Amino acid sequence: MNSEAKKRIKQLMNHKIPEGYKKYKDIIFPSDWSLSNLGDIVEYKKGFAFKSKEYCKKGIRIIRISDTTYNSIKDESPVYIPEDSEFNNSEYQLIEGDLIVSSVGSRPPLYESMVGKVIKVPKEVDGSLLNQNAIRLRGKNGYCQDYIYYHLKTSRYLDHIEASVRGNANQVSITLDDLFKFVICIPTEAEQKCISKILSTWDKAIELKERLIDEKKKQKTGLMQKLLTGKVRLPSFIGEWKEVKLGKVIREINDKTTENNQYQVLTSSRQGIFLQEEYFNKSVASSNNIGYKIIKKGQFTYRTMSDDGSFKFNRLMEYEEGIVSPAYVVFETTKINPVFLMNLMNDYSFNKHIQKETQGGTRLSLKYNSLKEFVIKIPSIEEQDAIANVLNIVDKVIELNQKELEKIKLQKKGLMQLLLTGIVRVNTQES
């Protein structure tokens, strides 16, 4: 970063508009740039309501909102329509680089299901057709599509979506009129492309780090399947494993709050345990949390209901204590290594075992009284400790890579803020 850019940043921190810049509402941008509404610089097409009765296992792929994450399109459970279908219309076709915006979903920042989330179409689904509740965007001549994409990944865009959505707590939507009012700073097309090229380099670094983390997680899964079943034994361990009921090695904790806001409210998710206000970007707990369950460092918790039959058992390690909803079970270990148990209970095979034994309709329930009756096979405590130590080492490697990933993402976020507002200018001649 050159001295001029540092000077501009310092001026902005002192709430001054740098020379050669102007301000529109909360946007400060170079005087030689312009501002445009999103709707003025893109062409759009709404997705089509394809008939699910036509879905098949081969043909033309249909991209539904449920097929998307916050950043990409999932490979799991794709649906297709026959190539000779009357609904196979090129008008709804996607090509690599197209932008897909969801018009319905949840409020920000629940990214996976968030209304207004933007996905760039990858090469793998080029030629697919776009389903309803999604909008295809393409930049008009003179407007770089990738440059538009990066603006739709900023916190300012998220704020615009949150202020514009309509609907109830469960599902909200955004109109095209409101979506297209989002304001974007526009430099020359050459500068747009140069900025996009710089940011795409950071995207590639993020993608490589994410692939590395995924590979490490797969390696851990393979290791768990061998070590947690005794198929592979660590050196010097030869004793037989024995079957025990979970209730013999764990104990339920039923300590509850006696006053409101006695401890910080926690959420146990499939990604781990988080402060509820950070996970949801606001508190969703009852205003009166007397009677919530108290969980202390080292103890376990899980939600007793599941929509898909998968249960996640989390162990509190980040905080000394907290409280969780009465809908959660809290328990601690008594005669088993807690790291060994946590990995065992979150293993795919254990969850499959739960699904076979658990009763329920559209939602499955796993109360503590049922959990404690499950039978598991365990080695001696010494072998448990040794296995736990191996898995801890793998977890630390994954954690280190995740911290590096978050650092790269944070650096990219800061760079986006500087480049997309022109605080830091790029040399188009060098590119």
Q: What is the distance, to the nearest Å, from the Cα of residue 365 to the centroid of all Cα atoms in its chain?
A: 25
| CA angle, residues 350, 305, 262, in degrees to nearest 5 | 110
Q: Which of 404, 401, 400, 424 is nearest to 414 (CA)?
A: 424
Cite the DSSP H helix spans in 306-372: 338-345, 348-357, 368-371
Q: Work out the number of other CB atoms within 10 angstroms of the CB of residue 222.
A: 10
User: What mean pLDDT value characterizes the chain?
Assistant: 90
Q: What is the mean pLDDT of residues 400-425?
A: 95
What is the C-alpha separation between 366 and 350, in angstroms, rounded? 13
Per-residue pLDDT, 357: 65
H/E segment holding residue 331: strand 328-333
The distance from CA 288 to its chain's CA centroid, rounded to whole angstroms, is: 29
What pLDDT was estimated at residue 33?
96
Count other C-beta atoms under 10 Å from residue 248's C-beta. Answer: 13
- pLDDT score of 362: 53
Helix intervals (H) in 55-100 = none
- Distance CA(61)–CA(81), nearest Å, equals 7
Q: Taking residues 307-322, report their average pLDDT.
A: 89
Q: What is the pLDDT of residue 282?
A: 52
For residue 1, the model assigns a pLDDT of 67
Average the pLDDT over 273-290 and give the result: 70
Asked if 245 and 372 count as a contact pair (C-beta separation under 8 A), the reply is yes
Q: What is the pLDDT of residue 364?
A: 79
DSSP 8-state class, residue 32: T
pLDDT tens digits along 37-91: 999 999 999 999 998 888 998 999 999 999 998 888 998 889 999 999 888 888 9
- At residue 86, the pLDDT reads 87
- The predicted pLDDT at position 21 comes to 92
Question: What single-letter DSSP state applies at residue 181?
Answer: T
Q: What pLDDT was estimated at residue 168?
A: 78
Q: Is the pLDDT of residue 355 over 80?
A: no
284/51 Cα distance (integer angstroms): 36
Other residues' Cβ atoms within 10 Å of the Cβ of residue 259: 8
Q: Residue 284 is encoded by which pair of tokens? A: 């969703």
3-state secondary structure of 130: strand
Whose CA is closest to 266, among 303, 306, 308, 309? 303
Q: What is the pLDDT of residue 306?
A: 82
Q: Is the pLDDT of residue 32 over 80?
A: yes
Confidence of residue 286 (pLDDT cuts 50, 70, 90): low
Q: Would you state the pLDDT for residue 153?
A: 95
- Indicate the range of 6-20, 57-71, 146-160, 291-305 predicted with least confidence: 6-20
Residue 309: its pLDDT value, please? 73
pLDDT surpasses 80 at 278: no
* DSSP classification of residue 153: T
Residue with the larger pLDDT of the pair 352 and 105: 105
Choice among 185-194, 277-286, 377-386, 396-405 with the minimum mean pLDDT: 277-286
Rounded Cα distance between 412 and 106, Å, is 26
Q: Is the pLDDT of residue 11 over 90?
A: no
Domains observed in the chain: 1-30 (no CATH), 33-185 (3.90.220.20), 187-237+380-431 (1.10.287.1120), 242-378 (3.90.220.20)
pLDDT above 60 for 272: yes
Banded pLDDT at 147 (limits 50, 70, 90): very high
Tokens of 115: 């209304």
Q: What is the pLDDT of residue 8?
A: 81
Per-residue pLDDT of 214-258, as tens digits, reads 999 999 999 999 999 999 999 999 999 999 999 999 999 999 999
Q: Are strands 129-130 and 60-63 parallel, antiparallel or unpaired?
A: parallel
φ, ψ dihedrals at 232, nearest 5°: -120, 130
Question: Quick one: 238 exposed, middle or buried, by C-beta within 10 A (0-12, 13-18, 19+)?
Answer: exposed
State residue 50 phi and psi, 5-degree precision.
-65, 145
For tokens 């959505």, the residue is 165
pTM to 2 decimals? Answer: 0.82
Cβ-based neighbour number of residue 161 at 10 Å: 24
Strands (E), 182-278: 183-186, 242-245, 250-252, 266-269, 272-275
Contact 10, 424 (CB under 8 A): no
